[in-house]
Structure 1
Amino acid sequence: MQKADVIVLGAGMVGVSAALHLQARGRDVALVDRRGAGLETSFGNAGLIERSSIFPYLFPRDPKRLVKYALNLLPEAHYHVAALPSVAPWLMRYWRASSPERVAKSIAGRRPLIERSLIEHEALIQQAGAGRLIRYTGWIKLFRSDETLALGVADAEKLRAYDLHIDILDSKGVAAREPHLAKVAGAVHYLDTASVSDPGALAKAYADLFLARGGRFVSADALTLEQEPDGGWSVAGPEGRLAAPDAVLALGPWSDQIFRRYGYEMPFGFKRGYHMHYAPQPGATLNHPILDADNGYLLAPMDRGIRLTSGAEFATRDAPPTPVQIERCEPIARTLFPLGPALDRAPWKGARPCLPDMLPVLGPAPRHKGLWFDFGHAHHGLTLGPVTGRLLAEMMTGETPFTDPAPYRVDRF
C-alpha cells in the first residue's frame, strides 16, 4: 500500500489550495481527482477574486419579486419544478438564514476570509508564476434605471464601513470606463476586486506548483475513500490503494456523497450555473467584468472571449442541463455590448455547493479522526480557496489559526 501524510480529495481551486498550504507545512500530500485540476466548478465562473463581497448573496424577501421567481419569470433565477420536493426544504433554510439577525452572523464569519482572500491568492500567484492571469481592474455593477441605481448605491455605501474603495458612476462615468457599452443610468465600480482571465488555468497553475514542489497527483475516484482498520484513510489508486492518516474532503458539489456516507447531515444545496463565450464585434473591447444588475447576468473578458455567466438555477446536481437563462440573457446582453458569434458549441454547466448561511464547512469531522471538511464555498470557491486552504492547514498542523474557525464548524447546523 502506498503512503502519504494527507490525501486531498478534489483538485478544484479549494482542494489544490489546501494541498499547497499543507505541503508548505511539511506534509507529504497526495491530490486525488478523477479528471484534472480546475476542470469542474472551478472552471466555470466569473473569474472574480471578490475582495468586496462582504455581504452574502441573500434569498430575496420582496414579495413582488418572490412571485416572479415562483413563476420563473426573472432571468437571474430559474428552478426545475420536478426538483421542488428535494430543493424546497433547502430553500426554506436559505430564506431563514437570510433574515437580518442571521445575516449579521454570516457577515461576521465571512469578513476575515474575504479580507485575506486576495492576499492569499497573490502569494500563490507569485509562486506559481501566474501573474499574466490576474487583473486589478475591479468590477462594475450596472443599473438600467434611476430607481435600481439608487438601491445599488445605498448597498455600496454600506460597504464603505469595511474600508473598501468604491466609485459611484453616472452614465457619463460608465461611458468613460466602458466606451462600447450602451447607455445606462449609472453604476457602482468596486475597485478592490481582482479578476482572472482564465479561472481553470489559474487552478492548473497552482496544481503545477504543487507538483513542482514534490506533490503527487493521483488519478482516482475519490468516492473509493475508506477508513482503514488503524483509523487512517485510503483510496483506490491506479497502482493499488493509497493510505494516509488524514483525508481532506474538498469535492465541492459532490462532497455530500462522502459526508452522508459517514452519517453527517447538513443542509447542503446547489446553485447551478451556466456560461458561454462570445467574440466581441470588430473594434469592441470590454475592460472590466460587468454585472447587469437589472437582468441578472455578468459579462467578463476572458482569454477565450467574452464570457456570459448566468444567475442561479435550482435543480438537482446531476439533472440534464436547461440553459434557459443563457437563452434569455444573450439577447439582452447584445443590447448592452456588441457581442459577436458564440465560441462554444453549447453552454457550460456547473454547480455551486452551498450551505444556507453562505459560509463554507471547514474543520474536523467530529466523529471520525483524521477526516477533514473543506467545501460549501457557494459563489466564492475561486475567491476563498487559498484562504480556507491556509486556515485548514493551520488547524491540521497545530498552528494558531489566523482567525477563529468556529463559524465554519461542521456541526453548526
Structure 2
Amino acid sequence: MPQSAIVLGAGMVGVSVALHLRRRGYDVVLVDRQGPGEGASFGNGGLIQREAVHPHPFPRDVSELLRIARNGSIDAHYHPFALPGLASPLLRYWWHSEPARYAQTVQAYARLIETCLDEHLAIARGTDAMALLRPIGWMRLFGDPQRFETALAQAELARKEYGVNFVALDRAGVAAAEPHLLAERTGAIHWTDPLSVSDPHALTLAYARFFEAEGGRFVLGDAATLRRVAAGWRVQAEDGPVEAAEVVIALGAAATEVTRRFGYAPPLFGKRGYHMHYRLQGNAVLNRPVLDTDSGFLLAPMRAGIRLTTGAEFARPDAAPSPVQLERAEPVARRLLPLADRVEATPWMGVRPCMPDMLPVIGRLPGHQGAWCAFGHGHQGLTLGPTTGRLLAEMMTGGETFVSPEPYRPDRY
C-alpha cells in the first residue's frame, strides 16, 4: 500500500500534516473521535506567535516558586492530588529550564517559530482563510516599571538574535492604542509580527476543507484501535476499518495513550487551559489581543466576543473541569476592560500537550516502520501546525527538509 497514510488527530497539527501529505500525492485518511479542531485547537489565544522564540521555562526564582506554591494565582493553578503523577515530568521540565540547557532549547525552538508565518500563509493565501488572519500583533501590558524594563531588554535581544519586531509603548502610547482600557499601565510591548486569528476553530476547519477538497478524507474513529497489520496499519472508523501503509500520531496530550502500546512513552504531560467569551459594554472596543502581565490572563477580540483565557492548570487527566482561574481573572479583567455579560453558559476547557524539554516530538516512532509522531507542541500547536506538517511530510517522502528535524526526534527520550 504505497503512498498512503492514516493521520490520527484532527487538531491544527494533524490537519496540517494530512494536508501536506495529500499535496505530496499521499492517499490520506484523517481520523478523530470528534470533528476537526474540536480539541485544544478550539480554545487558545488565537495567536500565530512569530515572537515566541522563547518557550515557557519552569520558574527557577524562589519568590516565583513560592507565589505559585500558594496556589492562588491566575496564571498557574494545580490540584494537589495530581502532583505525585506529575512529579517526574515536572522535575525534568525544571532540569531542562537551567539557563545553559534552556539556551540550547531556545535555539532549536526558534528554528521552528521563525517559519510559522510563512507556513500559515502558504496555506491560507488566496483563500477565504485569509479573512481569519489579522496582521495586528498583540500587546503585553505592564504595570510594574521594573518588569517592563526587564522585558524590553529581553525583547531587544530577541530582535537582535531572531529578527522579532516590536514597538515599545509608554503610558500615553498604551492609552492611544487601546482607548477603552479602564486601568492605566506603565507601558506595553506591542509585538507586531504575529497574526491574530479571529476564530481558531474556523481556521482549523478551513484547512480541513482544503484537505478534503484536494481528495483527502476525514472519518470519525477511535485511535485506541490502532493495530499493526501485514499491509501497514489499521484503525477502526465509524464506517469500518481503515488501512494504510503509514500512520501519523498527532493526538496532542492523548498521544502517549497510543504510543505506549507500541513501547514508546515519552514524558508528555498536560497543561489545562480555559476560556470564556464576553460582550463589551456600549461602543467599547478592543483593537488587538492584550496580555496583562501583572495578572496573567489574555483578552483577545474574537468573532464570538472578547475571549478571556487563563494560564496553566495541572490536574489528573480524568479530573473534572475546575475553572477557578477564570473566576479569579474575571473581576480583574472587568477592572481593565468594560466587559458585559458572558456569552456562554459554561467555560471551555482544553489540554496543551507539553514536553519537559519544551520541544515538540516530530519524527519516526522508535522501533516501528511506517509510524510517525507529531505532538508535544505545548502552547504553540496553532502556531506550529503548518510548520510541523511540512517538516514531517518532507521526512516521510524522503526529501530534503527545510529545517533540521534532529532536535525534535522522538528517540531523544
* Other-structure match for 1:367: 367
CA–CA distance in 2 between the matches of 1:318 and 1:187? 38
| Residue of structure 2 equivalent to 1:189 | 190
1:131-146 matches, within 5 Å, as 131-146=130-145
Q: Number of aligned pairs?
A: 411
Map of 1:219 onto structure 2: 220
Could you report, residue by residue, the CA deviation over 1:37-88 in whole angstroms, capped at 9, with x for unpaired residues? Answer: 1011000000000000001111111101111211103221000001011012
The CA RMSD over aligned residues, in Å, is 1.3
Q: Determine helix, strand or coil for the equivalent of 1:164.
A: coil
Which aligned pairs between 1:128-207 and structure 2 lie closer than 5 A? 128-161=127-160, 162-181=162-181, 182-207=183-208
Give the corresponding residue for 1:36.
35
Question: Can you list the C-alpha shifts for 1:184-228, whole angstroms capped at 9, x where unaligned?
Answer: 111111111111000000000000111111111111111111111
Letter in 2 for 1:139: W
Q: Give the conservation status (yes or no) of the 8 Å contact 1:127–1:209.
A: no
SS at structure 1 position matched to 2:299: strand
Aligned to 1:261, the other structure's residue is in SS state helix
Deviation at 1:241, TM superposition (A): 1.3
Q: CA deviation at 1:128?
A: 4.2
Which residue number in structure 1 is paired with residue 11 of structure 2?
Answer: 12
Contact (CA 8 Å) 1:292, 1:298: kept in 2 or not? Answer: yes
CA distance in 1, matches of 2:411, 2:295: 37
1:60 paired to 2:59: yes
How far apart are residue 240 of structure 1 and its match? 2.2
Q: Are the equivalent residues in 2 in contact too, given 1:4–1:243 (CA < 8 A)?
A: no
Q: Any idea what the Cα deviations from partners look like across 1:76-125, whole Å, max 9, x if unmatched?
A: 10000010110122111111111111111111111221111011101111
Do 2:137 and 2:194's aligned partners in 1 also have CA atoms closer than 8 Å?
yes
Aligned CA distance change for structure 1 residues 393 and 67 (closer, same or farther; 3 Å) = same
Q: For the residues of structure 2 that align with 1:237 and 1:198, how far apart are their CA atoms?
A: 28
- Range moving further from structure 2, 325-334 or 155-164: 155-164
Counterpart mapping for 1:166-315 below 5 A: 166-181=166-181, 182-230=183-231, 232-315=232-315
**DSSP 3-state at the match of 1:40:** coil
In the alignment, structure 1 segments of 5+ residues that lack a partner are: none
Q: Secondary structure at the match of 1:223?
A: strand
Distance of 2:215 and 2:402 partners within structure 1: 26
Q: CA deviation at 1:166?
A: 1.0
Give secondary structure in 1 for the equivalent of 2:303.
Answer: coil
With structure 1 as the length reference, what TM-score do the two structures score? 0.97
> Is contact 2:264–2:366 with CA below 8 Å preserved after alignment?
no
Cα distance in 1 for partners of 2:360, 2:354 equals 8
Shift in alpha-carbon separation, 1:24–1:245, aligned structure 2, 3 A:
same
- Alpha-carbon spacing, 1:3–1:349, altered in 2? closer, same or farther (3 Å): farther
Taking a change above 3 Å as real, the CA distance of residues 234 and 8 of structure 1, as seen in their structure-2 partners, is: same
Taking the TM superposition and a 5 Å limit, the aligned residue runs for 1:69-148 are 69-126=68-125, 128-148=127-147
Identity %: 53
Following superposition, the deviation at residue 129 of structure 1 comes to 2.2
Confirm or deny: 8 A CA contact 2:359 2:408 kept in the other structure.
Answer: yes
Partner of 2:386: 386
Shift of 1:127: 5.3
Offset at residue 340 of structure 1 (A): 0.8
Other structure's SS at 2:325 match: helix
Between the aligned partners of 1:5 and 1:74, the Cα distance in structure 2 is 48
Pairwise CA distance, 1:315: 1.1
Cα distance in structure 2, aligned partners of 1:326 and 1:301: 17
Aligned-residue offset at 1:154? 2.0
Q: Confirm or deny: 8 A CA contact 2:281 2:338 kept in the other structure.
A: yes
SS at match of 2:63: helix
Aligned equivalent of 1:317: 317
Q: Which one-letter code corresponds to 1:385 in the other structure?
A: G
Confirm or deny: 8 A CA contact 1:128 1:206 kept in the other structure. Answer: no
* C-alpha contact 1:288 1:300 (8 A) present in aligned 2: yes
Q: CA deviation at 1:3?
A: 9.9
Q: Give the drift of 1:4.
A: 7.5
1:151 to partner: Cα distance: 2.0
Find the residue that maps to 1:279 and give its secondary structure.
strand
Distance in 1 of aligned mates of 2:237 and 2:274: 32
The 2-side partners of 1:45 and 1:159 are apart by 24
TM-score under structure 2 normalisation?
0.97
Instruction: Report the Cα offset of residue 239 of structure 1.
Output: 3.0
Q: Secondary structure at the match of 2:411?
A: coil
Where structure 2 has 5 or more consecutive residues not aligned to the other structure, the ranges are none
CA contact (8 A) 1:9 1:247 kept: yes
Between the aligned partners of 1:399 and 1:212, the Cα distance in structure 2 is 25
Structure 1 residues 306-348: Cα deviation after superposition (integer angstroms, max 9, x where no partner): 0000000011223101101000011001111111111111111
Please tell me whether the aligned partners of residues 169 and 186 of structure 1 are also in contact (alpha carbons under 8 angstroms). Answer: yes
Amino acid at match of 1:198: D
2: CA distance, partners of 1:62 / 1:3:
53
Measured at CA, do residues 289 and 271 of structure 1 come closer, stay the same or move farther in structure 2, by a change above 3 Å? same
Worse-superposed segment, 297-306 or 110-119: 110-119
The answer on whether the counterparts of 1:44 and 1:200 sit within 8 Å (CA) in structure 2 is yes
CA distance in 2, matches of 1:5, 1:131: 30
1:249-274 deviation digits (Å, cap 9, x = unpaired): 00111101101111112111111100
Q: Per-residue CA shift, 1:134-187, capped at 9, x if unaligned?
A: 100111000112122122212212211122211111110011111111211111
